Structure 1
Amino acid sequence: MDAKSLTPAKRADYCPPGRFWQALLSVLLLGMWLGMLLFGASPARAEVPSIEAKSFDHYTLALTWHPGFCASRSRPPRECRDPGLRRGTEEGFVLHGLWPSLPQRLRERGVERRRWWRQGCFIERPRPDGGFCRHPSLELSDELARELDGVMPGRASCLGRYQYAKHAACLDVTAEDLFDTSVALVEAVNASAFTDFLVIHRGGEVRRNALIEAFEAAFGKGTGRALRLECAGRGNRLLTEVRIGIAARSLESFPAADSLVRLDRGDCATRVRIAAFD
């Protein structure tokens, strides 16, 4: 049926099929989100392997909203230009990294937290000149390499190599363990109503506080303190990334509320744009 064939009176009530299913999906997801809020149900969770904490307090799980990241780049990398690498990335978050906090042994040497975040393991192992691909290749099983490709399109630009070299190579954590855990954490977040909220609103704008409320609805009252929102563009209104604080000894219970720890507040404006690919 074509809306143009309807009388003016009936045309006003006409809902195109695509809009009908979009509206129905929004209602179903909203109902699931409210159900979690009212009854305290936890989101579906992938089993998260434990990485033994090496004298640090917490991890920061950095998850990229890929359309927003790509829109923020004046010179987009390959993972933004290649349609095959972009496919499916606006259905959830993709992995930026899993970052241990300042290790005790470096704290005892007088290293400040800000310097650790800026330099990481390069404090002890100088960073090689050149791009990310100058770092050593990752030693991963074939199965994990395939899984990581699915949640980390930045692997096309050697992002995984850089993340391991900066954040874990000096902590006696293997690349296999770090990324096995990282994949499970991404899957757990993407299975949540928080990610559903972003998917529903992609291509539009939401209140910053609505994002925090959606996070708390998915993971528990008060957990919004563990969420840091990162934005770019004019007025810091374009969402590029979320960061989640996780207690170092509570990875296996993520995303339970008691596994989350407070992070510093992000830099997003009061209204945030959730980008979508054209």
Structure 2
Amino acid sequence: MVLASASAVFAQEAQRQGKTDYILAVSWQPGFCETRPKRKECAAQAGAQRDATHFSLHGLWPMKKSYCGVAADIKARDRKGGWTELPQLAMTTETAARLQVAMPGTQSGLDRHQWLRSGTCYGGTADHYFQTQLRFLDELNGSAVQALFSGRIGREVTEAEVKQAFDVGFGEGAGERVRMRCEKAGARNVITGLTIGLSGDVSGAAGLSGLVLAAGRTDFKCPRGVVDAAGIQ
């Protein structure tokens, strides 16, 4: 009994002192589009689309690394925007097709930007980089977190509710590794997305739960926000 108690204390301490290796960024696309209506991916957003009720992919960011091995001229082009003019990525037809659904921002070249800025520091191919993110996104969209958001469309969620949903879906303490992004849209504070800390080998078969719980804690930032519905309000 003493050994079991000591192990629990050790695990809790490890969680408190965890170091974040990666950030998984996901968007709540209706809120994102509410604040950026001129983006290509926002012009045709509708309630029947998957991104109206599920999280969308934004990126997987290695901490404190960017543009690994990227030529200076390509890096300069990326930083100026106009991402659709950047070099196309080498991906299988299957991965590219899945990414177009999971990452609406591909219409603006977001996938090319994310690969140059962050994927080049990932240590693998573009195909594997995005396959990894698609796997994580599927886990998130199959969890209590997505259920909470889809059930609150048009209404607010609070910090406590989001953290609890993460704890239910990915283990106690997971909610302490999440930050919610919100922006003002008129008088409303709308949720535009989440950033989730990860730590460990993300390139293997590890699930989100262990990777999230191994990461360091973070401030939640946005105490409450509206889960926006598709279409400009």
1:183 aligns with 2:140: no
Aligned CA distance change for structure 1 residues 76 and 264 (closer, same or farther; 3 Å): farther
Q: Which residue of 1 aligns with 2:40?
A: 78
Tell me whether 204-213 or 175-184 shows the greater mean CA deviation: 204-213
Report deviation, 1:135: 1.9
Structure 2 CA distance for aligned equivalents of residues 217 and 154 of structure 1:
29
Kept after mapping to 2: 8 A contact 1:227/1:262 = no
**Residue 53 of structure 2: which of 76, 91, 95 is its match?**
91
Kept after mapping to 2: 8 A contact 1:229/1:265 = no
Question: What is the 5 A alignment of 1:157-236?
Answer: 157-233=108-184
**Residue 200 of structure 2: which of 241, 244, 248 is its match?**
248
Structure 2 CA distance for aligned equivalents of residues 264 and 137 of structure 1:
35
Aligned CA distance change for structure 1 residues 149 and 68 (closer, same or farther; 3 Å): same
TM-score by length of 2: 0.79
Report deviation, 1:174: 1.3
Report deviation, 1:188: 0.9
Report deviation, 1:171: 4.8
1:277 aligns with 2:226: no
**Residue 216 of structure 2: which of 252, 262, 273 is its match?**
262
Deviation string 1:17-53 (CA, Å, 9 cap, x unpaired) is xxxxxxxxxxxxxxxxxxxxxxxxxxxxxxxxxxxxx
Kept after mapping to 2: 8 A contact 1:80/1:86 = no
Q: Which has the larger radius of gyration?
A: 1
Structure 2 CA distance for aligned equivalents of residues 98 and 85 of structure 1:
26
Aligned CA distance change for structure 1 residues 147 and 171 (closer, same or farther; 3 Å): closer
Number of residue pairs matched by the alignment = 205
Q: Which residue of 2 aligns with 1:38?
A: none
Q: Which residue of 2 aligns with 1:127?
A: 76
Report deviation, 1:166: 0.6
Report deviation, 1:259: 4.5
Question: What is the 5 A alignment of 1:35-46?
Answer: none
**Residue 139 of structure 1: which of 90, 93, 106 is its match?**
90
- Alpha carbon RMSD of aligned pairs, Å? 2.5
Q: Which amino acid aligns with 1:96?
A: H
Q: Which amino acid aligns with 1:233?
A: K
Name structure 1 gaps, 5 residues minimum.
1-55, 103-115
Q: Secondary structure at the match of 1:233?
A: strand
Structure 2 CA distance for aligned equivalents of residues 140 and 150 of structure 1:
15
Structure 2 CA distance for aligned equivalents of residues 241 and 258 of structure 1:
19
Q: Secondary structure at the match of 1:252?
A: coil
Q: Which amino acid aligns with 1:271?
A: R
Q: Secondary structure at the match of 1:232?
A: strand
Report deviation, 1:210: 1.2
Name structure 2 gaps, 5 residues minimum.
1-18
TM-score by length of 1: 0.67
**Residue 23 of structure 2: which of 50, 57, 60 is its match?**
60
Report deviation, 1:84: 6.8
Structure 1 CA distance for aligned equivalents of residues 57 and 143 of structure 2:
16
Structure 1 CA distance for aligned equivalents of residues 121 and 161 of structure 2:
38
Q: Secondary structure at the match of 2:228?
A: coil
